[in-house]
Amino acid sequence: MTNPIPERNLISPFLVLFLINAMQVGVGVLGFPRYVAIDVDYDGWIAVILGGFLTSVAIWLIFIILRRGNGDIIEVHKKVYGKWLGGFLSFLILLYLLSLSLVVLRTYIEVVQIWVFAQLETWALSLVFCALAYYTIVKGFRVVTGICFISVILSFLTYVSLFGPLEFMEMRNLLPIVDHTPIEFLKATKTMVLSYLGVKMLLIYYPFIKQPEKALKWAVGGNVLTMIMYLSVSLVAFIYFSPDQLQRTIWPLLSMWQIIEMPFLERFEFIAIPVWSIVVLPNICLGLWSTSRGFRLLFSFNQHQTLIVLLIIVFCLSSMLQTRASIDLLNTVVSETGFYLTYVYLPILWLIQTIRLKGRST
């Protein structure tokens, strides 16, 4: 590692659990059961487990690549491909990380506009999130980690909210089990792993982990915690909705929140959706922090000035995306890119890195 991180900026290994889980749990958990069920109906819970397992393997692979490179992905690329090709590939990854922040921000704003404030202007809420992200990021990576910690605690609201729909459950919806072909399960697993893709921020913040060799188990633990949440939400959605209902429901978790009633609150989702903004905020912060730091390392830019430029770009792009079709297209492109980056490119990088290391040792 060319520039060691000061001790005061490092985080404990166990906090990686919260960084991983916070990036994986965001707006995706609100609607993923519908997309998985399209491929394998109510065998989708199996795809949730398979997707979690594959992501754990990807996390293990990331740790191997970064440990060998003794730094972040930018340092690894420089050592494996050289300055120019490595820099270009790093630049593409940074653009992808920035796009993750944009996707999460715009998708959450869409949820708020449809479910809570129909007349709310996109730019207004986007400006609020950009201001919060700026304030969080300029305080340093440890503060970003603290926001991730809080978001994981608040996401446990999901488990409590699942008890309401259980009153109307129909267990027969889950039968018969394993009623699809291996090809269909592979397709569903690919659909599901798109919800686990937040682990790639690890490629940038790895050097900020104190004793990173001890962080692997916590990173996998964060992924397992995500899998448990996804599995719980998918099972409850499958036993609550009929197949036809689920096909027509864009955000199953939000629809299940509608039936929850309290003596002091008639519409539970009116509280849950604003609270979910704290769960979404770390997705935006980590993406912007990773991108601004990456540009600092790659081009020697000032990270603070770069952050301001990136915030302006995200704000403008989010305000330009106004239709459901454009938002859905953005989600699809970013998800597909993330899939090939995680499950195709990273194994190739690991293989090339292995060959080069063996060549040097002979």
Full DSSP string of 197-235: GGGGGHHHHGGGBSSGGGTHHHHHHHHHHHHHHHHHHHH
> Which pLDDT does position 238 carry in this prediction?
84
The label of the residue with tokens 């690329």 reads 77
> What is the rounded (10 degree) CA torsion for 227, 229, 234, 237?
180
The pLDDT of residue 330: 86
pTM of the model: 0.90
Over range 79-93, report the average pLDDT. Answer: 91
- Cα angle 308, 116, 248; round to 5: 105
Q: What does the pLDDT average to over 99-128?
A: 89
Q: Determine contact, residues 132/326, Cβ cutoff 8 Å.
A: no
Question: Could you give the angle at the alpha carbon of 120 between the alpha carbons of 115 and 125, nearest 5°?
Answer: 100
Give pLDDT tens digits for 179-201. 777 888 888 888 887 778 778 88
- Phi then psi dihedrals of residue 98, to 5 deg: -65, -40
pLDDT band at 41 (very low <50, low <70, confident <90, very high): confident
pLDDT at 1 over 50: no
Task: Write down the pLDDT at residue 93.
Answer: 93
| Mean pLDDT along residues 25-32 | 82
Q: What is the mean pLDDT of the chain?
A: 86
Integer CA distances (angstroms), 185 to 43, 167, 206, in order:
9, 30, 33
pLDDT reported for residue 308: 95
Percent of the chain with pLDDT over 90: 35
The dihedral through the CA atoms of 45, 47, 53, 58 has a sign that is: negative
Residue 1 DSSP SS3 = coil
Please report the pLDDT score of residue 65 as a whole number. 93
Cα dihedral 116/120/99/15 (nearest 10): -50
pLDDT of residue 362: 58
At 3 the pLDDT is 61
Tokens of 332: 């699809």
> What is the average pLDDT across 194-218?
88
145-168 confidence digits (pLDDT tens): 999 999 998 888 777 777 777 777
Q: Which pLDDT score is estimated for 118?
A: 81
User: Structural domains in the chain?
Assistant: 10-332 (1.20.1740.10)
DSSP string, 162-204: TTTGGGG--GGGGPSSS-S-HHHHHHHHHHHHGGGGGGGGHHH
Percentage of the residues of the chain whose pLDDT score is greater than 70 = 98
More confident residue, 350 or 163: 350
**What is the structure's pLDDT at 217?**
92
Mean pLDDT of 238-259: 82
| pLDDT tens, position by position, 281-330 | 998 999 999 999 999 999 888 999 999 999 999 999 998 888 888 888 88
